[in-house]
Structure 1
Amino acid sequence: MGDDKKGVWRDNGVMWCRILSPRVISRTYFYWWRSLFTMKLKTGEFQCLFTDGLNGLADVFEKHQYELRIAGGAVRDLLSGKRPEDVDFATTATPEEMKHMFQSAGIRMINNKGEKHGTITARLHNENFEVTTLRVDVQTDGRHAEVEFTTDWQKDAERRDLTINSMFLGLDGTLYDYFKGYEDLQNQKVRFVGSAEQRIQEDYLRILRYFRFYGRVALEPNDHEPETLTAIRENGRGLAAISGERIWVELKKMVVGNHAAHLLELIYTLDLAQYIGLPPDGNVDEMKRVWQNAKDHSPKPMTILAALFRCPEEVEKMDIRLKVSREEKTLALFLVKHRRELCKNKEDPGSLKPFTDFIIDSRELDSHSKVCELLKYQGEEKLVSELCTWSIPRFPVSGHDLRKMGITSGKEIGATLQKLRDIWKKSYYEMEKDELLSYIKP
């Protein structure tokens, strides 16, 4: 940290400025101006956002005198030193005003589905920019909200879920933080904006979003504010009305984040499992053991969740509620079926062979990836590494080879191929065609 000039200093790419004499302060900016400091971001991750497309977008808004700021998750990522994958923008311009501006500038607009919610997508220099008008919620039912447009930045921030997601960043790097989101981010705290109960009742999916972001931000696994957990417990049944697809999006992200075992256990402690497709009597102890085994090996979300299921019927019920992909469902069924019966050889515990034999005998194209997830589930760290570098060998004998030797019966060909395949597997897949064919009696 070093002084640049009087009243200004820098720390890790952030420029802090003492505000010496604020004069006229509007209600919208009250929180920002009432503090003694403001902040400007000057990091490389922030500067990298300024492509030709974004510079062109900024010029249009500046020309028409509408404010444009980076919003939500992108601000959180930038303040954490990360370059965001997606950048959303907020503005004081209404959708109609934006359309007029873009049409006047000859800028193409795409995907008009978001217009009724205030979002216009502009395409400049082969980049898409989603820009949303500031909004306030007029009425909510726990799933959807009726909104009105506003020019009040703080009102828009008030309707967002978490303090760390409620910040805006000006294109000059100025941070607009009305609810101490940056402070929470620095302290690794996850809090709802204002009343947790009110935010949850506006959209019950925010319960799972809270868990997801807790796993991304919080340092300790059990550092929740008691009133937050109380609000979640008392409003958990509202998740029953949320679509399975939306729940699965959040659940998948939560399960592969930090503290996943703690958060899944908390879902059971708070009596939420029954509303989100998980078995009411899930095997939490097994899940915690599997998460501990697999967490350092990038397991798929379903690998962790499969530990909760005691039988295939529970997987089927989960699929009906969450509408997971076919690949995800078959992986869960595979793990539930084979987690005990397919395991390493007790006589040779360091051998991968029982698993490679299974893959070779399997008729499923994705058996290799499924067995890899099974090994993660079982905590076989060494075997996981070996399987990742193992390629499925090609069985060198075909039915055509047997016909050339005078075997013409389809049934006999099948039996002979299976016999030769067993011999080949015992050789650790090393026998060549001629050596295998020598086992056939003339």
Structure 2
Amino acid sequence: MWSRLLSPRVIGRTRLCWRSLFTMQLKTSEFQALFNDGLNGLAEVFEKHQHELRIAGGAVRDLLSGKRPEDVDFATTATPEEMKRMFQNAGIRMINNKGEKHGTITARLHNENFEVTTLRVDVQTDGRHAEVEFTTDWQKDAERRDLTINSMFLGLDGTLYDYFKGYEDLQNRKVRFVGSAEQRIQEDYLRILRYFRFYGRVALKPGDHEPETLTAIKDNGRGLAAISGERIWVELKKMVVGNHAAHLLELMYSLELAQYTGLPPDGNVEEMKRVWQNAKDHSPKPMTILAALFQSPEEVEKMDIRLKVSREEKTLALFLVKYRQELCKSQDEPDSLKPFTDFIIDSRELDTQSKVCELLKYQGEEKLLAELCRWSIPRFPVSGHDLRRMGITTGKEIGATLQELRDIWKKSRYQMDKDELLSYIKP
């Protein structure tokens, strides 16, 4: 695979301090596809002013893996002030410059946004935020990044710049921190969850962790308590739908991290592992997996207070906790979808069908899930207006009669038409 993705020619290997700079030429269709009028125009501006511009971070990792990156971030030796002057002189519009204090300028060329960040070093960190200082040293910028696989740069000529064996780790499907795991974690405790998330994306099998990495994570897990719930939830929900999610969630409990992340301290790990096995091949929502950990609605409420999940995510968790045992296939008709479709028909909420689909994933009902995905909610053919024309006028009587007819209609598997149903009303 890798021989297909990369040219075998090694451009150079240079000693920088105690590390090696590994370079290689990237020649892939995914890389070439990045170049359009916008990127070419951006490159011309930086070349004209003799400032280096390289692709940075996750986009490099994706390209080395043969993937077209969804987002491409750039790094440069130019300072924010220099970038602003360059773009202004070139007539290039700049937008959303909230990131300027961290060195990021967003330029808009040919209806496309390009985020370019000045090389930085962290001069002071508190485990949540960092005070940065600009630099022109690519290695120092790489050294402040979290994982080796995220610390590489890619020149626009296709040259890979790798200071910390990120390419080697990517080949070997290893996830390692840059330098000292403990130091990287203490700079930003959220990196604990980023480690788990990227482990799910890169590692081939569960349990292939370096012991010293897990020790550093456990020793510093308490630091997650100071991280905002919103940041934790961003990482957690990506991890839960990735590879090895059950292993990683179980690992979080064994390393005593759950109590700091909004998950129930005594979560039902065995139930979660069972549900993950049921649902993993059916694109479950993150909360479908996590709901297995909760043993009561109160635990869902506590999670929401900590993580501030969306209303849709919270209601799904509450739905699954409530109905995972109450709403099941009929014992008399074990292959019947009817209990679930009846529930949907009776519900007043628009998204009930999607919630029931998640419930079937949770329960491991693959056949019923496939049937429900093909099923369309039928329209109940009788209305209150129909009953008024037959002489039923009080609201209470109309409501009761409609419910009776609805029950008859459900027993017919939604096949009876209006006339058949109305024939049940006694004059």
Quick check: TM above 0.5? yes
Q: What residue number does 1:419 align with?
A: 404
Q: What residue number does 1:19 align with?
A: 5
User: 1:172-183 maps to which residues of 2 (within 5 A)?
Assistant: 172-183=157-168
Q: What residue number does 1:265 align with?
A: 250
CA distance in 2, matches of 1:63, 1:52: 16
> Cα distance 1:24–1:151, how it changes in 2: closer, same or farther (>3 A)?
farther
8 Å CA contact 2:7, 2:25 repeated in 1: no
Displacement of 1:37 in angstroms is 6.8
> Cα distance 1:189–1:333, how it changes in 2: closer, same or farther (>3 A)?
same
8 Å CA contact 2:122, 2:131 repeated in 1: yes
> Cα distance 1:274–1:23, how it changes in 2: closer, same or farther (>3 A)?
closer
8 Å CA contact 1:18, 1:38 repeated in 2: no
> Cα distance 1:438–1:134, how it changes in 2: closer, same or farther (>3 A)?
same
CA distance in 2, matches of 1:218, 1:24: 26
Any gaps of 5 or more consecutive residues in structure 2? none
Structure 1, residues 110-167: CA drift from partner, whole Å, max 9, x if none?
Answer: 0010000000000000000000000000000000000000000000000000000000
CA distance in 1, matches of 2:184, 2:9: 34
Q: What residue number does 1:326 align with?
A: 311
Q: What residue number does 1:215 align with?
A: 200
8 Å CA contact 2:22, 2:165 repeated in 1: no
8 Å CA contact 1:19, 1:36 repeated in 2: no
> Cα distance 1:21–1:296, how it changes in 2: closer, same or farther (>3 A)?
closer
Cα-Cα RMSD: 3.0
> Cα distance 1:87–1:25, how it changes in 2: closer, same or farther (>3 A)?
closer
Q: What residue number does 1:135 align with?
A: 120
Per the normalisation by structure 2, the TM-score is 0.96
8 Å CA contact 1:200, 1:232 repeated in 2: yes
**Pairing partner for 1:165 from 150, 162, 177:** 150
Secondary structure at the residue paired with 1:199?
A: helix
CA distance in 2, matches of 1:273, 1:125: 46
CA distance in 2, matches of 1:341, 1:41: 56
8 Å CA contact 1:352, 1:387 repeated in 2: yes
> Cα distance 1:154–1:353, how it changes in 2: closer, same or farther (>3 A)?
same
> Cα distance 1:26–1:146, how it changes in 2: closer, same or farther (>3 A)?
farther
> Cα distance 1:36–1:231, how it changes in 2: closer, same or farther (>3 A)?
closer
8 Å CA contact 1:161, 1:206 repeated in 2: yes
Structure 1, residues 20-45: CA drift from partner, whole Å, max 9, x if none?
Answer: 999999999xxxx9969731111010
> Cα distance 1:325–1:34, how it changes in 2: closer, same or farther (>3 A)?
closer
> Cα distance 1:163–1:19, how it changes in 2: closer, same or farther (>3 A)?
closer
Displacement of 1:434 in angstroms is 0.5
> Cα distance 1:35–1:267, how it changes in 2: closer, same or farther (>3 A)?
closer
Structure 1, residues 97-121: CA drift from partner, whole Å, max 9, x if none?
Answer: 0000000000000001000000000
> Cα distance 1:387–1:273, how it changes in 2: closer, same or farther (>3 A)?
same
> Cα distance 1:299–1:35, how it changes in 2: closer, same or farther (>3 A)?
same
Structure 1, residues 263-299: CA drift from partner, whole Å, max 9, x if none?
Answer: 0000000000000000000000000000000000000
Per the normalisation by structure 1, the TM-score is 0.93
Secondary structure at the residue paired with 1:36?
A: strand
> Cα distance 1:223–1:37, how it changes in 2: closer, same or farther (>3 A)?
closer
Structure 1, residues 372-414: CA drift from partner, whole Å, max 9, x if none?
Answer: 0000000000111111111100000000000011110111000
> Cα distance 1:391–1:191, how it changes in 2: closer, same or farther (>3 A)?
same
Displacement of 1:16 in angstroms is 11
8 Å CA contact 1:163, 1:181 repeated in 2: yes
> Cα distance 1:272–1:24, how it changes in 2: closer, same or farther (>3 A)?
closer
8 Å CA contact 1:283, 1:310 repeated in 2: yes
8 Å CA contact 1:16, 1:37 repeated in 2: no
CA distance in 2, matches of 1:285, 1:58: 53
Displacement of 1:168 in angstroms is 0.2
> Cα distance 1:426–1:90, how it changes in 2: closer, same or farther (>3 A)?
same
Q: What residue number does 1:151 align with?
A: 136
> Cα distance 1:363–1:406, how it changes in 2: closer, same or farther (>3 A)?
same
Structure 1, residues 205-236: CA drift from partner, whole Å, max 9, x if none?
Answer: 00000000000000010000000000000000
Structure 1, residues 399-435: CA drift from partner, whole Å, max 9, x if none?
Answer: 0000011110111000000000000000000100001
Displacement of 1:347 in angstroms is 1.0
8 Å CA contact 1:17, 1:39 repeated in 2: no
> Cα distance 1:359–1:307, how it changes in 2: closer, same or farther (>3 A)?
same
Runs of 4 or more above 3 Å deviation:
15-28, 33-38
Displacement of 1:364 in angstroms is 1.1
8 Å CA contact 1:136, 1:156 repeated in 2: yes
Structure 1, residues 237-278: CA drift from partner, whole Å, max 9, x if none?
Answer: 000000000000000000000000000000000000000000
CA distance in 2, matches of 1:341, 1:313: 18
8 Å CA contact 1:345, 1:354 repeated in 2: yes
CA distance in 1, matches of 2:27, 2:190: 34
> Cα distance 1:22–1:385, how it changes in 2: closer, same or farther (>3 A)?
closer
Secondary structure at the residue paired with 2:13?
A: coil
CA distance in 2, matches of 1:392, 1:102: 55
> Cα distance 1:34–1:157, how it changes in 2: closer, same or farther (>3 A)?
closer
CA distance in 1, matches of 2:112, 2:4: 37
> Cα distance 1:316–1:110, how it changes in 2: closer, same or farther (>3 A)?
same
Displacement of 1:365 in angstroms is 1.1
User: 1:14-413 maps to which residues of 2 (within 5 A)?
Assistant: 38-413=23-398
